Amino acid sequence: MASQRVIVVGAGIVGIASALQLRLAGCEVTLIDRGEPAMETSYGNAGAFAVSDVIPLAEPGVLRKVPGWMLDPLGPLALRWRYLPTLAPWLARFVAASRPRKVAELTQALAVLLNRVNDDYAPLIERAGLNHMWRRHGALTLYRDEAEFDAAQAAWDDKHRHGVTWRKAVNGEVRQLEPALRDEWRCAVKVPAWSHVDDPYTFSRGLFDAFIREGGRFVRDEAREVALLQGKTQGVDTVNSGRLAGDAVVIACGIWSDRFTRQLRYRVPLESERGYHVTLPKAGVALHHFIQCASESFVILPMGSGGLRLAGTVELAHRDAPPDWRRAHILIDKARQIVGDVDTTDMSVWMGNRPSVPDTVPIIGPAPGVDGLYFATGHGHLGLTLAATTGALLADMIRPRPGDFDVSPYRINRF
Ligand SMILES: Cc1cc2nc3c(=O)[nH]c(=O)nc-3n(C[C@H](O)[C@H](O)[C@H](O)COP(=O)(O)OP(=O)(O)OC[C@H]3O[C@@H](n4cnc5c(N)ncnc54)[C@H](O)[C@@H]3O)c2cc1C
């Protein structure tokens, strides 16, 4: 089969992993970014391969908690009220996605992707020589007591039905798994298949370096629009490098993908669920597992350097609105409730734009009616987790291989 020239626009983790998968599948691949690779949302995420997150965000349990969360401006979910009129259509779709039948359908679509994450990542990580930073120790989701866990048990049972293996630990067993936790956390759920990387930026750069080593090309430029002729993709028109010719184009621009969905006149509801992190390089707390706090909706990543990253919460606001750094700082107080005192020497804060669609399921696949154009966006909270799988699916679509994977749940024209 003749080698195909593929242009991947956007060198976040989704674009990088897709470019590498396509290169390994034999395509001639050019990756474009207006900045350095992995410097946007993929820079500061929490580093988790969150394979148990099969239930979409819009589920009735979450919706019930929303009013309480909204009363606290520093709580797990905040909304910039001035942005509400713009956000309203997205929110309406979010609520529509919470109907039980819809939740069941979306859960199935997510589970199919999440169940193959480790298999899709393993060869990329091996090829990139990054095994040393892939920590396959599992995650612990913490509950103060069994009553708090009981309220979440139905969701865990549902996850189990969708292929997630987990087990509950109580009291001394929790302490045995993670001695640094404070005593009031008496119950935890361990998901053994969950894994994390020491630092998502270093990891993403490692995959990027592997892409270059394998013969991929990187162009630092801004893509203006997809070049089209009679319904067929010709390549990408850039601001400084003219037209980059290609037989296929993949749009992987995260929250900025709307420029291209608008060009093609798709009505894709893509909004930013902004999230914050605090990195504590000298935290002085040794953790083995990735830690999730269910009630506060934030996580703790044990970083390779011996530090900790605290990350999470959702802020619904325009992607360019100024950050509210109080939302990052509050994570330190929340972490102290879990692991006791932490050293904040040399701490840094960061904010990123999760590219989110209201039904949580990413958009992966061809643009109907345009030959050679593909989208890989809308990964929301799961961009790092699903990047290798997204790339593997794109490679199967662009270099067609026999298979029976149903890509219809991820199509762009479902909205
Ligand atoms: C606090 C926080 C914690 C998170 N934790 C996790 C986690 O633990 N696990 C997980 O799986 N996910 C997590 N996420 C989500 C994850 O970070 C995102 O889903 C992921 O980074 C999105 O990757 P992306 O490649 O789609 O977008 P980005 O990383 O934003 O990359 C898009 C790229 O496109 C480029 N671009 C845009 N427009 C153009 C253009 N016109 N021309 C050229 N280049 C362009 C940008 O410069 C950018 O480099 C977290 C997010 C946040 C905010």
CATH code for the domain of 153: 3.30.9.10
pTM over 0.85: yes
Do 162 and 38 fall into the same domain?
no
Do 290 and 261 fall into the same domain?
no
Do 274 and 392 fall into the same domain?
no
Mutate to test the pocket of ligand 1, among 30, 251, 256 (most ligand atoms within 8 A of CB): 256
Length of the chain: 415
Average of per-residue pLDDT across 264-293: 95
Tell me, in angstroms, the distance from the centre of ligand 1 to residue 254's CA.
Answer: 5
What was the pLDDT predicted at 71? Answer: 75
Tell me, in angstroms, the distance from the centre of ligand 1 to residue 381's CA.
Answer: 9
Q: Is residue 23 assigned to a domain?
A: yes
Q: Using alpha carbons, select from 206, 384, 186, 198 the residue that is nearest to residue 307.
A: 198
- Cβ(252) to ligand 1 under 6 A? yes
Do 347 and 373 fall into the same domain?
no
Mutate to test the pocket of ligand 1, among 9, 21, 34, 41 (most ligand atoms within 8 A of CB): 41
Mutate to test the pocket of ligand 1, among 9, 40, 264 (most ligand atoms within 8 A of CB): 40
Residue 224 φ/ψ, nearest 5 degrees: -90, -50
Q: Is residue 131 assigned to a domain?
A: no
Domain end among 307, 329, 356 = 356
Do 371 and 315 fall into the same domain?
no
CATH code at 206?
A: 3.50.50.60
Q: Which atom of ligand 1 is nearest to the CA of 353?
A: 53
Tell me, in angstroms, the distance from the centre of ligand 1 to residue 14's CA.
Answer: 7
Q: What whole-number percentage of the chain has pLDDT above 70?
A: 99
Contact 287, 135 (CB under 8 A): no
- Cβ(309) to ligand 1 under 6 A? no
Residue 186 domain boundaries: 59-98+136-194+270-356
Do 315 and 386 fall into the same domain?
no
Do 78 and 143 fall into the same domain?
yes
Instruction: Categorize the per-residue pLDDT at 2 as very low, low, confident or very high, splitting at 50, 70 and 90.
Output: low
Give residue-wise pLDDT tens across range 318-357. 999 999 999 999 999 999 999 999 999 999 999 999 999 9
Tell me, in angstroms, the distance from the centre of ligand 1 to residue 28's CA.
Answer: 24
Q: Is residue 257 assigned to a domain?
A: yes
Q: Is residue 29 assigned to a domain?
A: yes
Q: Which atom of ligand 1 is nearest to the CA of 311?
A: 1
Q: Is residue 186 assigned to a domain?
A: yes
Q: Is residue 329 assigned to a domain?
A: yes
Give residue-wise pLDDT tens across range 98-146. 999 999 999 999 999 999 999 999 999 999 999 999 999 999 999 999 9
Q: Is residue 108 assigned to a domain?
A: no
Tokens of 196: 């994390």
Do 275 and 177 fall into the same domain?
yes
Do 347 and 381 fall into the same domain?
no
- Cβ(352) to ligand 1 under 6 A? yes
Q: Which atom of ligand 1 is nearest to the CA of 47?
A: 8
Give residue-wise pLDDT tens across range 33-47. 999 999 999 999 999
Q: What is the chain's alpha carbon radius of gyration, rounded to the nearest angstrom? A: 21
pLDDT at 1 over 60: no
Number of domains present in the structure of the chain: 2
Q: Which atom of ligand 1 is nearest to the CA of 276?
A: 1
User: Judging by DSSP bridges, how do beta strands 139-143 and 187-191 pair with one another?
Assistant: antiparallel
pLDDT at 54 over 80: yes
Domain end among 312, 334, 356 = 356
Do 347 and 370 fall into the same domain?
no
Tell me, in angstroms, the distance from the centre of ligand 1 to residue 83's CA.
Answer: 22
Domain end among 311, 335, 356 = 356
Do 82 and 182 fall into the same domain?
yes
- Cβ(12) to ligand 1 under 6 A? yes
- Cβ(68) to ligand 1 under 6 A? no
Q: How many helices (H) and strands (E) does the chain have?
A: 11, 21
- Cβ(8) to ligand 1 under 6 A? no
- The angle, 0 to 180 degrees and rounded to 10, between the axes of the packed helices 117-128 and 383-398 is 90
Do 302 and 169 fall into the same domain?
yes
Q: Is residue 315 assigned to a domain?
A: yes
